[in-house]
């Protein structure tokens, strides 16, 4: 029993499957812990581990010379013209993400009568498993970028084992173990087939007391009070001298008189991790008895506020843990199988932005910083995409990336991703949100936005009979018109992205000739179109019919994450968008489709539609016992979309903001009549706490800049004058 939400989860039995293993990570290294006390396995991952498959040499297609002819044909009414806009290559996937190895700990069999319990503490990132006299604790340090494990067992075998599902048969593996006065060192080196790219793991083993001996392929430790393991992974080319890396690990525990080096390392890590995790908290008044349940049992209580509390906490924990060097992949930072679905890529036409949707509002700037690192590191490749495919200056983003390459090369007839021009705006939008939340304008983001605007200057050259600009070719991921091919004209997402990118670039460069030129270009784009069903059309070009049963909702980009279409400023368009949402099918029941639907419903003030979309995920068995999620129902295909996106859905039902507006309780489901959300950030640079009951609500606003915003609540609207540094309380009595 607890007095508030549980910030962790637990299980009374070992995880037999790696998918159920508890997770830890620091955005560089990750761990996935499963197995029992007689054979515990810690799968080690690292964001840089991608297997060469040819994608590392791929470049964008040289198609710019053919673009004018394609545009002519599409404007003339040829519905299949874009199918020939290719260089004829086969579909090339990005380099697949994969695990490094497992640290395998074999102990003497422990009497199960002593009980078994494993847990993960979201506030510290520590996973613990214990049974009788055996105990194992693991975390991944944000302070020292090292995997730290402490084991207490009377007898312990330790080895690094590369044999994980899907490991290539011709993976060249070498391992070793040496004993030194400072401790034992285990190494494992694996070279990918057909080249000199490899990765190496180094584990320092420091036993307190007892006897350590070589026991190929690893070590055996007997009679120790405790055993400390420190592990790092490095991806490299050619050979690697592991000596300095082992020495660097030893420097983390330099003093043999230190009574508890594990505790010291944990304190250094926790100072960073806890501060980030505890910025935001959600209390939905969950039943104390349900809060005390193990995760696998709580998941069966699909209508329980306690379940949403724990999934909210777990989602923020996993998102924080997966973000550092990069933002989360399709699998976050974790996998126990070399055959990751869709290459474990950063899929940028939906999944990445959905997973990071809570970063700004739910106070995880670490995630935004990781997202920015991915974007900025790939801008040179984005420039090459713009030149090669469109003959343009500026930048064009790809739909898939492995983290190394930002080139557009993953495309096929059914997935003509080379036509997609909205990606750069889509990927820069979270960085704009971050700036607004902090009341700043990052010069790197400003420069990138200027490059997006330059692309549109060169690309938007065709007009229709009314003199309005035409986005041609245009692609709505990953859908097609019912009466045409995938490559078409004036996809709603492309129109919204171009308008937003040009206007935002102008706002970041006020008073300049560039800003005036970009604003004028944005104003010449055509409006959205409502179709015969009264729905916002996925393609604004007349004569292109909608295909409703699809997992993606790209055409409603103007609703979320943009503010272009909303119930307050554009009620008619908002009604058309809502009709489009009503008509949209779920297609293959992918988690990202359901939660994208929920985010849109929240922006359109439809709390019961939010609840229904959430229910599809909660009742569809999408979550493993680890509280990491799956892509499809029945826990089919390990995938982080649901786990990482769910916190954003809950925040959007309670608090929404723009630089000039605050909306409180816009889409509260009836099933959540009372609760408290603390620490969220708004896009007018304020921190906010919200409490609500069926008959009363209070918001405490702590602004960092003086500003007037429009306050919207269920009972009406009013101006709100905020003064930097002065707390402002809004209650139901003043609404």
Q: Which sequence spans correspond to the domains of the chain?
A: 8-49+97-277, 61-95+301-648, 675-734
Confidence at residue 175, expressed as pLDDT on a 0 to 100 scale:
93
Given a contact cutoff of 8 angstroms between Cβ atoms, the answer to whether 493 and 422 are in contact is yes
3-state helix, strand, coil in the chain (%, to 5): 30, 25, 40
Over residues 292-335, the pLDDT tens digits come to 999 999 999 999 999 999 999 999 999 999 999 999 999 999 99
| CB distance 74 to 82 below 8 Å | yes
Query: pLDDT by residue (tens digit) across 413-436?
Result: 999 999 999 999 999 999 999 999
Banded pLDDT at 1 (limits 50, 70, 90)? very low
DSSP 240: -
* Of 433, 533, 424, 418, nearest in space to 486 by CA: 418
DSSP string covering 339-406, please?
Answer: S-GGGG-EETTTHHHHHTTTTTTTT-HHHHHHHHHHHHHHHHHHHHHHHHHH--SS----SEE-SS--
User: Does the structure show a pLDDT above 70 at 594?
Assistant: yes
pLDDT of residue 132: 87
At the topology level of CATH, where does 8-49+97-277 sit? Beta-galactosidase; Chain A, domain 5 (2.70.98)
Burial of 209 (0-12, 13-18, 19+ CB in 10 A): exposed
pLDDT of 734 over the 70 cut? no
pLDDT in tens, 218-249: 999 999 999 999 999 999 999 999 999 999 99
CB 226 within 8 A of CB 150: yes
Give, as one character, the DSSP assignment of residue 420.
-
CATH placement of domain 61-95+301-648: 1.50.10.10
Task: Give ∠ CA 535-493-427 in degrees, rounded to 5.
Answer: 140
Proportion of the chain above pLDDT 90, given as a percent: 94
pLDDT score of 733: 63
Q: How confident is the model at residue 2 (pLDDT cuts 50, 70, 90)?
A: very low
Cα separation, 689 vs 609, whole angstroms? 25
The per-residue pLDDT for range 513-546, each reduced to its tens digit, is 999 999 999 999 999 999 999 999 999 999 999 9
pLDDT at 61 > cutoff 80: yes
pLDDT score, position 109: 62
* Beta sheet of 675-681, edge-to-edge order: 281-283, 675-681, 686-692, 697-703, 728-731
* Average pLDDT for the chain: 96
Whole-number pLDDT of residue 180: 84
Q: Which two tokens stand for residue 466?
A: 């009314």
Q: CA-to-CA distance for 630 and 299, rounded, in angstroms?
A: 14
Tokens of 462: 């065709």
Inform me whether the pLDDT recorded for 113 exceeds 80. Answer: no
Residue 233 bridge partners (DSSP): 201
Task: Determine if the pTM surpasses 0.85.
Answer: yes
The model's pLDDT over 638-663, given as tens digits with 9 standing for 90+, comes to 999 999 999 999 999 999 999 999 99
Report DSSP state, residue 294: -
Distance CA 79, CA 484 (A): 5
Q: Is 147's pLDDT higher than 70?
A: yes
């Amino acid at each position: 029993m607890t007095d508030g939400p549980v910030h962790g989860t637990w299980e009374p039995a070992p995880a037999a499957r790696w998918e159920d293993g508890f997770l830890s990570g620091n955005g560089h290294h990750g761990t996935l812990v499963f197995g029992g006390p007689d054979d515990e396995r810690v799968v080690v991952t690292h964001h840089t581990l991608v297997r060469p498959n040819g994608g590392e040499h791929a470049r964008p297609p040289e198609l710019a010379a053919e673009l004018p002819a394609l545009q002519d044909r599409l404007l003339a009414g040829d519905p299949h013209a874009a199918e020939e806009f290719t260089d004829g290559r086969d579909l090339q996937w990005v380099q697949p993400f994969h695990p490094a190895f497992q640290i395998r700990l074999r102990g003497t069999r422990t009497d199960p009568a002593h009980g078994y319990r494993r847990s993960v503490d979201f506030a510290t990132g520590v996973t613990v498993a214990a049974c009788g006299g055996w105990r194992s604790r693991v975390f991944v340090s944000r302070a020292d970028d090292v995997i730290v494990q402490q084991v207490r067992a009377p007898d312990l075998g330790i080895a690094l084992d590369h044999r994980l599902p899907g490991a290539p048969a011709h993976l060249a593996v070498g391992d070793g173990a040496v004993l030194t006065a400072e401790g034992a060192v285990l190494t494992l080196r694996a070279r990918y087939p057909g080249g000199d790219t490899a990765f190496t793991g180094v584990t320092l083993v420091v036993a307190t007391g007892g006897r350590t001996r070589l026991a190929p392929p690893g070590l055996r430790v007997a009679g120790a009070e405790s055993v400390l393991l420190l592990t790092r992974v490095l991806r490299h080319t050619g050979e690697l001298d592991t000596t300095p890396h082992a020495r660097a690990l030893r420097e983390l525990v330099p003093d043999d008189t230190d009574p508890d080096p594990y505790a010291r390392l944990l304190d250094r890590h926790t100072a960073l991790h806890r501060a980030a995790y505890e910025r935001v908290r959600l209390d939905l008044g969950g039943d104390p008895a349900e809060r005390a349940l193990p995760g696998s049992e709580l998941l069966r209580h699909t209508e329980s506020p306690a379940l949403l509390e724990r999934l909210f906490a777990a989602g923020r924990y996993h998102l924080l843990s997966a973000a550092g060097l990069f933002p989360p992949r399709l699998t976050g930072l974790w996998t126990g199988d070399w055959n990751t679905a869709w290459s474990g890529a950063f899929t940028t036409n939906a999944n990445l932005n959905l997973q990071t949707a809570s970063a700004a509002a739910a106070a995880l700037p670490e995630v935004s910083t990781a997202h920015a690192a991915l974007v900025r590191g790939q801008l040179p490749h984005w420039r090459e995409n713009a030149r090669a495919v469109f003959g343009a200056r500026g930048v064009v983003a790809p739909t898939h990336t492995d983290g190394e390459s930002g080139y557009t090369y993953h495309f096929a007839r059914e997935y003509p991703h080379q036509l997609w021009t909205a990606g750069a705006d889509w990927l820069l939008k979270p960085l704009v949100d971050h700036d607004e939340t902090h009341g700043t304008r990052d010069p790197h983001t400003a420069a990138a936005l200027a490059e997006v605007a330059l692309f549109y200057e060169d690309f938007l050259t065709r007009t229709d009979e009314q003199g309005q600009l035409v986005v041609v070719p245009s692609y709505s991921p990953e859908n097609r018109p019912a009466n045409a091919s995938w490559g078409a004209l004036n996809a709603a997402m492309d129109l919204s992205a171009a308008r937003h990118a040009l206007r935002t670039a102008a706002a970041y460069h006020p008073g300049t000739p560039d800003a005036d030129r970009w604003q004028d270009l944005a104003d010449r784009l055509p409006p959205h179109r409502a179709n015969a069903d009264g729905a916002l059309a996925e393609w604004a070009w007349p004569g292109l019919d909608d295909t409703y049963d699809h997992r993606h909702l790209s055409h409603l980009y103007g609703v979320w994450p943009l503010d272009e279409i909303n119930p307050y400023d554009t009620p008619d368009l908002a009604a058309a968008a809502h009709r489009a949402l009503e008509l949209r099918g779920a297609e293959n029941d992918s988690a990202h489709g359901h939660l994208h639907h929920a985010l849109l419903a929240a922006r359109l003030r439809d709390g019961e539609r939010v609840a229904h979309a959430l229910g599809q995920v909660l009742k569809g068995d999408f979550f493993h016992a680890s509280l990491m999620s799956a892509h499809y129902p029945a826990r089919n295909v390990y995938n982080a979309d649901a786990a990482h996106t769910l916190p954003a859905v809950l925040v959007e039902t309670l608090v929404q903001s723009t630089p000039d507006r605050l909306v409180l309780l816009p889409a509260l489901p009836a099933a959540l009549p009372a609760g408290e959300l603390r620490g969220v950030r708004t896009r007018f640079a304020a921190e906010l706490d919200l409490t609500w009951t069926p008959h009363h609500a209070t918001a405490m606003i702590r602004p960092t800049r003086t500003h007037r915003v429009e306050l919207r609540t269920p009972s009406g609207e009013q101006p709100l004058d905020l003064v930097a540094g002065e707390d402002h309380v809004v209650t139901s009595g003043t609404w």
